[in-house]
């Protein structure tokens, strides 16, 4: 049984001057996750460690460096799913957590499946995760974009300017460990200038992620509303279950995303129990890195 790790750093119109930073960021997360995975760590551990590297890298829209809401604050979502037990943990609307993926894992290991806002942050405190000031998550790049957006007079409900500046950098990881378990995990700051309280696909099972150790695992990225409407992650897994190869399944899933009435742009990564990888996107670029044993 080969071990494998796939990392993505978002599918959107990544600017030319940010390509190298996205590449380096994905490689760094892969390296850290692979190091412990190859030493016998669980897929769950590998996903959490790799995701924390991505959350701590300000180039990505997750954790530190996330895009700002219409109110000028950062709100974070994350989720993780264990393909063997089908246990799932998600958190949303976090304003005071540096690494949401670690809290999502705590939720997975507890009695709930999703916690949001103040309740999620109290759960964090109860389980030894410290809170931080929201401003510690904000970087100057995103503050400047938010100020330009405010001056443009655009609406958070119809984010034309948001789509132009990009920032659909939902980050995700899928790991396959030596015991054959598949785990999918993701984290995001959401879409630029979103309505406060908005939750996209990232934290939603079947939309932003899904894992079944007998079939495969999927993690999605892009414009969350369009991904949620078609339950993109579960749709990709269904294609695997019908016998499609992972690359074909990824491509068909993204074509289905684009065909919905309102259109849809994004990407997805897939990993099977045998270590086969699939990935597709219909945006200009998607940042990714992967490694398979052998």
170 a catalytic residue: yes
Which residue shows structure tokens 């701590």? 56
Active site residue: 170, 188, 191, 283, which one?
Answer: 170
The full set of domains in the chain, from first to last, is 4-85+138-292 (3.60.20.30)
Angle between helices 100-108 and 43-56 (to 10 degrees): 150
Residue 20, strand partner residues: none
Give which of 17, 18, 24 is closest to 288, Cα–Cα: 24
| Three-state secondary-structure class, residue 189 | coil
Report whether 153 belongs to an annotated binding site: no
With a pLDDT cut of 90, the percent of the chain lying above it is 92
Report whether 198 belongs to an annotated binding site: yes
CA distance 129 to 139: 22
Helix H or strand E segment including 8: strand 4-12
Report whether 74 belongs to an annotated binding site: no
CA distance 157 to 77: 19
What region does 40 belong to: left with phi over 0, alpha with psi -120 to 50, or beta? left
State the CB neighbour count (10 A cutoff) for residue 292. 15
Q: Pairing relation of β-strands 171-176 and 209-212?
A: unpaired
Give the pLDDT score at 260. 87
With a pLDDT cut of 70, the percent of the chain lying above it is 95
Task: Please say if the pLDDT value at position 24 is more than 60.
Answer: yes
| Three-state secondary-structure class, residue 121 | helix
Task: Please say if the pLDDT value at position 219 is more than 60.
Answer: yes
Report whether 224 belongs to an annotated binding site: yes
Which residue shows structure tokens 């378990």? 181
Residue 78, strand partner residues: 91, 187
Task: Please say if the pLDDT value at position 101 is more than 50.
Answer: yes
Span 188-192, mean pLDDT? 95
Report whether 146 belongs to an annotated binding site: no
Span 154-175, mean pLDDT? 65
Give the pLDDT score at 204. 98
Q: List pLDDT tens digits, range 43-93.
A: 999 999 999 999 999 999 999 999 999 999 999 999 999 999 999 999 999
- Which of these ranges, 32-36, 161-165, 170-174, 277-281, has the smallest mean pLDDT? 161-165
CA distance 211 to 137: 29
Q: List pLDDT tens digits, range 110-163.
A: 999 999 999 999 999 999 999 999 999 999 999 999 999 999 887 665 444 445
The half-sphere exposure of 89 on its side-chain side, counting CA atoms within 13 A, is 22
Q: How far is CA 66 from CA 128, 135, 165, 193, in A?
A: 23, 11, 13, 11
Give the pLDDT score at 164. 47
Task: Please say if the pLDDT value at position 285 is more than 90.
Answer: yes
| Start-end of H helices in the chain | 19-37, 43-56, 100-108, 117-126, 140-152, 160-165, 224-229, 232-241, 246-259
Give the pLDDT score at 154. 74
The distance of Cα 149 from the centroid of its chain, to the nearest Å, equals 24
Report whether 177 belongs to an annotated binding site: no
Report whether 119 belongs to an annotated binding site: no
Residues composing the chain: 294
Report whether 9 belongs to an annotated binding site: no
State the CB neighbour count (10 A cutoff) for residue 195. 15
Taking CB atoms within 8 Å and a gap of at least 24, the contacts of 68-71 are 68/138, 68/142, 68/143, 68/145, 68/146, 68/192, 68/193, 69/156, 69/190, 69/193, 69/194, 69/195, 69/196, 69/198, 70/156, 70/193, 70/194, 70/195, 70/196, 71/196
| Average per-residue pLDDT for the chain | 94
DSSP code, position 49: H
Task: Please say if the pLDDT value at position 169 is more than 90.
Answer: no
Give the pLDDT score at 153. 80
Reading across the β-sheet that carries 266-271, which strands appear in turn? 209-212, 216-222, 266-271, 277-281
Residue pair 176/33 in contact by the 8 Å Cβ criterion: no
Span 233-257, mean pLDDT? 98
Give the pLDDT score at 252. 98
Give the pLDDT score at 262. 82
């Amino acid at each position: 049984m080969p071990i494998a790790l796939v990392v993505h750093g978002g599918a959107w119109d990544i600017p030319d001057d940010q390509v190298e930073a996205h590449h380096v960021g994905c490689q760094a997360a892969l390296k850290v996750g692979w190091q412990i995975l190859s030493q016998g760590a669980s897929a769950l551990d590998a996903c959490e460690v790799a995701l924390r590297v991505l959350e701590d890298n300000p180039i990505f829209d997750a954790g530190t460096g996330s895009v700002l809401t219409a109110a000028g604050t950062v709100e974070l979502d994350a989720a993780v799913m264990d393909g063997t037990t089908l246990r799932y943990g998600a958190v949303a609307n976090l304003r005071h957590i540096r690494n949401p993926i670690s809290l999502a894992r705590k939720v997975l290991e507890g009695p709930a499946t999703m916690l949001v806002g103040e309740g999620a942050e109290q759960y964090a405190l109860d389980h030894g995760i410290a809170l931080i000031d929201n401003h510690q998550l904000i970087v100057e790049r995103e503050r400047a974009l938010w100020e330009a957006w405010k001056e443009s007079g655009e609406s958070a409900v119809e984010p034309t300017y948001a789509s132009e500046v990009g920032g659909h950098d939902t980050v995700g990881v899928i790991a396959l460990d030596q015991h054959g378990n598949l785990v999918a995990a993701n984290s995001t700051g959401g879409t630029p200038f979103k309505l406060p309280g908005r939750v996209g696909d990232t934290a939603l099972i079947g939309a932003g992620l899904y894992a079944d150790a007998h079939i495969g695992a999927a993690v999605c990225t892009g414009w969350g509303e369009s991904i949620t409407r078609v339950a993109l992650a579960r749709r990709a897994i269904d294609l695997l279950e019908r016998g499609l190869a992972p690359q074909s399944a990824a491509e068909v899933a993204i074509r289905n995303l684009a065909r919905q009435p309102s259109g849809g742009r994004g990407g997805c990564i897939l990993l099977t129990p045998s270590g086969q990888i699939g990935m597709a996107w219909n945006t200009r670029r998607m940042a990714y890195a992967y490694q398979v044993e052998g």
